[in-house]
Structure 1
Amino acid sequence: MVVVGGGPVGLMVAGELLTRGVSVTVLERLTEPSDTIKAGSISGRTVEVLERAGLGAELAEIEQRIMAAVAKPARGGGRPGARGHFAGIFKLGFTPEELPVAMELLELRPRGLFEAGEAGRASIGRPMMIMPQLELERVLDRWVARLGGTVRRGAEVTGVVADDDGVTVTLASGEPVRCRYLVGCDGGRSTVRRLTGFAFPGTAPTMTGHQAIVELTGADGLAMGWNRTDTGLMVYGPFPGRVLTVEFDGPPADRDAPVTAAEVQASIRRVSGVDVTVTAMRTGTRFTDNARLADGYRRGRVLLAGDAAHVHSPFGGQGLNLGIGDAANLGWKLAAVLAGDADETLLDSYSGERHPVAERVLANTRAQLALLRPDPQSAALRDLFTELMDLEQVNWYLTSMIGGLDVRYASDGHPLLGRFCPDPGLVTADGSVPLAELTTDRAGLLLDLADDPAVGAAAAGYAGRVRVVTARATNVGDLTGLLVRPDGHLAWVADGTAPADLAALSTALTTWFGPARRSPCR
């Protein structure tokens, strides 16, 4: 297997494959990881995905170190009770005091829905985690190394030719690399996407943004946090020296030109009206609201993930989470095909499930840009939107959309089917067990919550692919059985109102894990 692109998404794909015994080589154009400032946090859903890959403790240690170095936490920075934002309107989420009432008003407990442990946290999901993209990339790089993966830096791809049996990748050096499947995770200007015929339709950029870590003088007049002005958007903080500006005067003249301190300084002055001086810049980048989505995520033996498949503005901090979600969805499916446990049709479900998720992100980032524009019409719309966000239903709708909590890979059946499975509060004969401790082998997980031998027997032909655990659960109401896919989404639900539907369980096992294997004769 070859993955092109050694950023967080490419490394996540590689790790998902390596944990399942697939040999992987990652080809990365850059000789060293880029220290350009990018995403600064990951959503609670992404935290859960990474915890279930066994990376939770390492990530928590990094966040604690970062937070200890910051005198004042980020406004809306994801600590319990803090507000998230939509277009810089910091009203998303509920405080612990608001949550019980909000849960009742929102009617988030249809029959069989997970009961809300800790005043609703289990249903609403984990808080976001402060995690700069570079730190996450380092964690994933170490993970891939521990698993025996190979990351070849300075390996620029210049050619991709696919055939019925595999893919030949040509490097700038002229070296050919042969693989059975190729996953392009090489960013918004993906060489893999361009060379393999994926269309990339969307909307052209309308604004220019800058984000940088700088040293400033004359900054006393800058207001902390998000501030709309007559000329754009200015964000100052929450970390020392972090600035972000947005000007709605079209895209940059030269997206590829080096970002200079003078350029950032001029943008700050234009947007804020404060005559600051940038005396030093540690890192800086430009961005736009260019929003495009590949017409599909698979062309035969070539697949796309992350920014290679979709690009959009950074508002809401959704891009990194969207890419990690792609990797979690694709990795186990590709490994199953490579192992011969499933046929190639399983890979079609990757595009079928993830493409609509990206469409939704592109739509809401375009909406956020509309609310941020400095014209009077947008200001009036923003005022109305701010009032609407005080309604619990609107608040929950936006909170779940930005956090990816509303993703569902099913269109009918039980309301939990296709949704991500939060920790059910499992208690086994050995005591309480976090769900993350049962998923580090990256297999599927069949939870028998009613001590029904027939449930476990249905998975008898899936040894090594599906782990069966008999337990009691404290956060699942009347549910008596759950089949959790390796990406954390539910493939089968027994709600306790009738005997477990074993035929439906058998269908789900075959659909997602391939045919059962006969036990060897003794």
Structure 2
Amino acid sequence: MHDVVIAGAGPVGLLLACELGLRGCSVLVLEREPDSGSPWRAAPLGMRGLSTASVDLFHRRGVLDPLLDRGHADFGMEGPGRPRGAGHFAGIVLDPADADLDALPFRLPSTTPEIVMTSLAAVEEVLSERAVKLGVEIRYGVTVSGITQDEETVVVSDGRHEYPARWAVGCDGGRSAVRRLAGFDFSGTEPNFTGYVMLATVAEPELLKPGFNLTPTGMYLQMPATGHIGMMDFDGGAFDRSQELTRDHLQTVLRRVSGIDVTLTDVRLASSFTDRAKQATTYRRGRVLLAGDAAHIMSPLGGQGLNTGIGDAVNLGWKLAATVRGNAPEGLLDTYDRERRPVGALALDWTRAQVAIMRPDPHGQAIQAVVRELLATGAGTNYVIARITGLSTRYDLGSEQPLVGRNAPRWRLEDGTHLGELMRDGRGVVLDFSADRRLAGPVAAWEHELRYAAGAAVDDLGAGAVLIRPDGVVAWAGERTPDLESFEQAVLRWFGSERENSSTA
């Protein structure tokens, strides 16, 4: 019996498997596709943007450089893995000249990229290689068809074989079998549009503008160098997506949303999607949990789905691992739902707002005009950048200290040590910037869960010391002379029983 069975070998499932494997859990990943190869996951259609928070996570686990080595592409970029612009909101491209990056919350200068453009195929390739090295078993061609659970175990089955485990996690996409079979409620809003993405050849490509183009009847996106074309047709999601996507239908939609009489001469790949926005009402039912698109679906505007799923995986990973190992403080696993479900809800609203702005009616056009003016200001641009990079995300951890609850800044000690280098093994980190080093003793009792590093920082952002959880979130921050009692309370809250185990060893 495995500790954890994960359904879905996409980025979220594989990252979760890596996080669990890193902490010694036995993990089985089941994937319904027969293999990992798919043209939809490779460039250009599989290109996605990793937010700053996601880039930080990959850097902290030592997989960012391998990803950049094989994953970035010349796809509207400037330099390896770096986007030319500052992103977009509702198809309105942000001008980097309007941004004041130094004003972003707790941002520190770093040689690590802020945002990385890569492909799903590259992410999955890097993570699957890492997972296998960590002892994770991955089985392809397995379709989950049944789930049963009791107080001690959960059994996942495919109709022929049973896979018992202590826990199961559904990372199997927007049409999650795990979500359905385990009885999760899934609620939200119905679509406003049918979207299309395709690799196609246009007879008169010069008639279509490159990049994002909002029109009085919808939106289209053209990348002439790759043949990548996207469209949004505000039909209320009326198109029957079970139908075959014919060249004639795609051409009709392209002409309608662009307002240009263009001709598609060849369609190599095509698919449709909607802006349906739904979320599980809880991310846990007994011994079954959800993460990624299985927990929340939304339109692909702004790449929120992938980055939200990555945040789910890294938040859940260390908490579930501690639970499996039997040293989690009481209620630790419940904080997964409490922290991540509000983030998912915000991501849904973020995409809903963009859809409302893009609506081809007088109300949508009026709002769009106002938003364009706001985005032409430094404050407006910074607000959007903070959201799409993940820098504005903050968990409510019961502290008014402004660093607590945020993704840890990219701290660097004066001796050259980077925070990211200290988090390779998945342990939490204590950075002690103070002169008295009074935290060294308490941390020694938690060496299985915490790494200690001391020294002056290039910029300590006003803190004397910080406790950083394995997922990179600041759990506690002390003054220039850190209070030992408050530090120990923070450690007990997040790593509770480990000290007891260590003290009796």
- Gap change, CA 1:50 and 1:261, over 3 Å in 2: farther
Question: Does residue 321 of the first structure (1) align with residue 329 of the second (2)?
Answer: no
**CA shift in 2, pair 1:56/1:351, >3 Å:** same
| TM norm structure 1 | 0.89
Aligned to 2:169: 183
In the alignment, which residue of structure 2 is the partner of 1:437? Answer: 421
Q: Is the 8 A contact 2:147 2:181 kept in 1?
A: yes
Instruction: Within 5 Å, give how 1:97-108 maps onto structure 2.
Output: 99=100, 103=103
In 2, are the aligned partners of 1:38 and 1:132 still within 8 Å (CA)? yes
Counterpart code for 1:7: G
Higher mean C-alpha displacement, 278-287 vs 415-424: 278-287
Pairwise mapping of residues 205-244 of structure 1 onto structure 2 (< 5 A)?
205-237=191-223, 239-244=225-230
Note if contact 2:437-2:454 (Cα within 8 Å) is conserved in structure 1. Answer: no
Deviation at 1:405, TM superposition (A): 1.2
State the Cα deviation string for residues 241-269 of structure 1 (Å, max 9, x = none): 11110010121433234444443333222
Partner of 1:478: 462
Match of 2:339? 353
Quote the Cα distance in structure 1 between the aligned partners of 2:266 and 2:194. 21
- CA 1:459 to 1:195, structure 2 compared with 1: closer, same or farther past 3 Å? same
User: Does structure 1 retain, via aligned residues, the 8 Å contact 2:189–2:277?
Assistant: yes
Moved more, 317-326 or 282-291: 282-291
Q: Structure 1 residues 404 and 127 mapped into 2: Cα distance closer, same or farther (>3 Å)? A: same
Question: In the TM superposition, what whole-angstrom CA distance separates every residue of 1:164-212 from its partner, at most 9, and x where no partner exists?
Answer: 001011113x211100000000111111111112111100112100012
Where does structure 2 lack aligned partners over 5 or more consecutive residues? none
Report what 1:152 is aligned to.
Answer: 139
Query: Is 1:380 equivalent to 2:366 in the alignment?
Result: yes
User: Structure 2: how far apart are the matches of 1:473 and 1:520?
Assistant: 31
Listed as ranges, the gaps of 5+ residues in structure 1 are 109-113
Helix, strand or coil at the partner of 2:266: strand
Query: Which amino acid in 2 is paired with 1:99?
Result: D
Give the whole-Å Cα distance in 2 for the aligned partners of 1:153 and 1:484. 36
* Distance in 2 between residues matched to 1:56 and 1:512, nearest whole Å: 27
- After superposition, the C-alpha distances for 1:8-65 in whole angstroms (9 at most, x for unaligned) are 111111011011111110011111233323452211221111111110111221355x
- Whether the aligned pair in 1 keeps the contact of 2:83 and 2:117 (CA below 8 Å) is no
Picking from 62, 84, 87, the partner of 2:87 is 84
Mapped partners of 1:304, 1:455: distance in 2: 37
Corresponding position: 1:305 with 2:291: yes
Shift in CA distance, 3/383, structure 1 to aligned 2, threshold 3 Å: same
Q: How far did residue 293 of structure 1 move?
A: 0.8
- Answer yes or no: is 1:170 the counterpart of 2:157: yes
Shift of 1:520: 6.5
Q: CA deviation at 1:79?
A: 3.3
2:64 alignment partner, one of 26, 44, 56: 56
Secondary structure of the residue that 2:163 maps to in structure 1?
strand
Letter of the 1:517 partner, please give it. E
Change beyond 3 A, Cα 1:94–1:433 = farther
User: Residues of 2 paired with 1:315 and 1:188: CA distance?
Assistant: 16
TM-score of the superposed pair, with normalisation by structure 2: 0.92
Q: 1:326 to 1:45 in 2, by over 3 A?
A: same
| C-alpha contact (below 8 Å) 1:235/1:243 kept by paired residues | yes
Equivalences for residues 110-125 of structure 1 within 5 A: 114=106, 117-118=108-109
Letter matched to residue 26 of structure 2: S
CA RMSD of aligned residues (A): 2.3
Distance 1:261 1:471, change over 3 A: farther
2:53 is aligned to 45
The counterpart of 1:366, out of the listed 331, 352, 368, is: 352
- Residue deviations 1:430-480 (CA, integer Å, cap 9, x gap): x31222211111100011112433212122321211111112211213321
SS at match of 1:18: helix
**C-alpha distance 126-405 of structure 1, shift in aligned 2 (>3 A):** farther
User: Where do 1:448-467 residues align within 5 Å?
Assistant: 448-467=432-451
| 1:201–1:292 contact (8 Å) kept in structure 2 | yes
- In the TM superposition, what whole-angstrom CA distance separates every residue of 1:287-307 from its partner, at most 9, and x where no partner exists? 101000110111111100000
For residue 446 of structure 1, the aligned residue among 404, 409, 430 is: 430
Query: Shift of residue 270 of structure 1?
Result: 2.0
1:458/1:505 contact within 8 Å kept: no
